[in-house]
Structure 1
Amino acid sequence: MKSNNPIFSRSEQFNGTANAHGNQAYAGSGQAYPGYGQTPAAPGYGDPSTYGTGTPGQIDQGRMTIDSVVQKTAITLAVVIAAAAATWFATGDVITQDAFGNQSGEVSGTLLMALMIGSFGAFGLSLVNSFKRVISPALVLAFAALEGVALGAFSKLIPIQAGVSSDIVLQAVIGTFAAFAGTLAAYKFFNIQVGNKFRTFVVAAMFCMVALGLMEMVLGFFGNQVGFFGFETVGLLFAIGGLVLGVFMLILDFDFVERGIAAGLPERDSWRAAFALTVSLVWIYTNLLRILAIMQRD
């Protein structure tokens, strides 16, 4: 079950080797789970009837389940939303005022600082979490907090730049969860099977869009932007492409969660799944917010 997805590819459990019975071998212990009907090997114990049953109530605990993924994802998203709300209210007025109380037309430096710190911090931690072999819940939550700071500032800034109502923020939030529910329903109803070519395409497209975004930022320092983040046709097409890619990323996430549960991955990998789902949802939200801003411009 080797993955091309950078978020999952560093997980030893997702990329373990299989034994002769086709079962996952976990690198943490160097042993494979036995196949169905096969008696587990236990040195020094020849009669399975003499095996202990362990502590009551602990059987099959410590494995990733749908409930554990939902719980960890809910916690991660709650941190994102709380940090975003705190940033929204803490940054105050978006447009600065002069000494006479007149709006200067310049965006508040506090808001821009929050956007930069949150964006670069979240991007750095996303790389750490993506390539870390053993997922760290603390780093996932730290990423969520910084992502929330960035989203709070971003959500406050986009309506002002586009000259539209801030109501699009709520619309984008609702649209994001609708996209999540719709994608999950389609994944289960149509029994979507994820192949290697699809995984490779989605990951390559994701890295391509990130590279284009970074290029746009660098060009912006020299006043020679292409318009990927603008509110014209190029910006709209880029945002629509990002939205579609976000839906594809969700499909990859659902596939890995389903495979991970079937393989009996450790419970800590629920945090890896929560991180991946959060990244996809944030990706969808930011592109959907930009689409709504462009579509509602005068």
Structure 2
Amino acid sequence: MQSNNPVFRNAEGFNQNAYGNATYAGNGQAHQGYGQQAYTDPSTWNVGTPGGPTGLRPETAQGPMTVDTVVQKTALTLGAVILAALATWVLTPDMDDANVGGLYTAVMIGSLGAFALSMVNSFKRVISPGLVIAFAVLEGVALGALSKMFAGVYEGVVPGAIFGTFAAFAGTLAAYKIFDIKIGNKFRVFVTAAVFGMVGLGLMSLVLGMFGVDTGLFGFGTLGMLTAIAGLVLGIFMLVMDFDFVEQGIANGLPERESWRAAFAMTVSLVWIYTNLLRLLAIFQQD
């Protein structure tokens, strides 16, 4: 049975066994020795070029996913988010009544574009590094404009949200390793359903807002505070799933390109945590 998480479900070799636990390509199977090649699958054969070497196609020689490759890809993806956010912050005018429309437009364009690419990346069987970076850039545009809007009204919330996001990442990673957290199928189903539920509520509120209906779900009142807290907790759960994917993927020899899938997933989780922290800190400042 496949994983219920759409980000990881399409990863090559990512499955679940009859007990609902994650399994990966080669799990429980004998592996070839170092330096050996297999020619049992004709689709992997390559006749080569005249006068050139023959053998496996170049992509089959790709190494396995490791902690280093995951860290490198995640750093590149987060770096693209940060650079795009900084560029948007610098290039857009200061927050005031005359300029809020431009910032709002940047938020809408960036967030809708990032959402579209996140769907493509989540359901794409072979992860594309270019699409992951494009997602990161659009996400950075949205975050840069959104952060500038919040900073213009609520002093100090942006640095607090940035610090809180990285603290949440470090704390979750430490807890995952120290307590040796293991997740099962029910946890994955719950988190995935909650993510889609929260996204659905956000889209509904956006559409209703266009017709002048304020649901208050993502506002700055009591209801907005509850959804921000729920979103923050959900972001932590998403990180736990990300760490599990990386750990199990490395243990079972997923190909190196799956490091981009891990980087994409962790970027989504960190952005999710940041935006909810930003809103939560703004609500607390009002009180």
Where on the TM-score scale, by shorter chain, does this alignment land: which range? 0.7 to 0.9
Higher relative contact order by CA 8 Å / sep ≥ 6: 1 or 2? 2
Does structure 1 residue 15 correspond to structure 2 residue 4?
no
Query: Could you tell me whether the CA contact under 8 Å between 1:242 and 1:284 is conserved in 2?
Result: yes
Report what 2:128 is aligned to. 136
In structure 1, the partner of 2:149 is 157
Alignment pair present for 1:178 and 2:167: yes
Corresponding position of 1:6:
6
Q: How far does residue 195 in structure 1 lie from its aligned partner after superposition? A: 0.6
Q: 1:111 to 1:23 in 2, by over 3 A?
A: closer
2:246 partner amino acid: V
More deviation, 74-83/221-230: 221-230
* 1:12 CA drift (Å): 2.5
What whole-Å deviation, never above 9, does each CA across 1:11-69 have from its counterpart, x for those lacking one?
A: 23213999xxx97359xxxxx952599xx89679xxxxxxxxx9xxxxx9611000100
Match of 2:285 in 1: 296
- For the 8 Å contact 1:229–1:235, the answer to whether it is kept is yes
Q: In 2, are the aligned partners of 1:23 and 1:34 still within 8 Å (CA)?
A: no
Distance in 1 separating the partners of 2:8 and 2:15: 8
| Inter-partner Cα distance in structure 2 for 1:170 and 1:295 | 15
Q: Does 1:34 align with 2:23?
A: no
Aligned match of 2:139: 147
- The letter of the residue matching 2:15 is N
How many correspondences in the alignment? 262
The gaps in structure 1 that reach 5 residues or longer are: 27-31, 45-53, 55-59, 96-104
Q: Percent same amino acid at aligned positions?
A: 64
Q: Deviations over 1:75-98 (max 9, x none)?
A: 100000000000011111221xxx
Residue equivalent to 2:79:
78
The 5 A counterparts of 1:58-73 are 62-73=63-74
Larger Rg: 1
How far apart are 1:2 and its partner, in Å? 3.4
Answer whether contact 1:168 1:292 (CA < 8 A) is retained: yes
Partner Cα distance (2:25, 2:129) in 1: 24
Return the TM-score normalized by structure 1: 0.82
- Corresponding residue number in structure 1 for 2:197: 208
CA distance in 1, matches of 2:86, 2:131: 21
Aligned to 2:228: 239
SS in 2 for 1:192: coil
Asked whether the 8 Å contact 1:24–1:263 carries over to 2, the reply is: yes
8 Å contact kept, 1:10–1:132: yes
Any idea what the Cα deviations from partners look like across 1:179-224, whole Å, max 9, x if unmatched?
0000000001011110100000000000000000000001101111
* TM norm structure 2: 0.85
> What is the root-mean-square deviation in Å for CA atoms of aligned residues?
2.6
Conserved? CA contact 1:72–1:270, under 8 Å: yes
In 1, distance between residues paired with 2:222 and 2:154? 17
**Is the Cα contact below 8 Å between 2:3 and 2:16 reproduced in 1?**
no
Structure 2: 5+ residue stretches without partners: 41-54, 56-60
Shift of 1:255: 0.5
> Distance in 1 between the 2:39 and 2:171 partners?
50
1:194-205 correspondence to structure 2 within 5 Å = 194-205=183-194
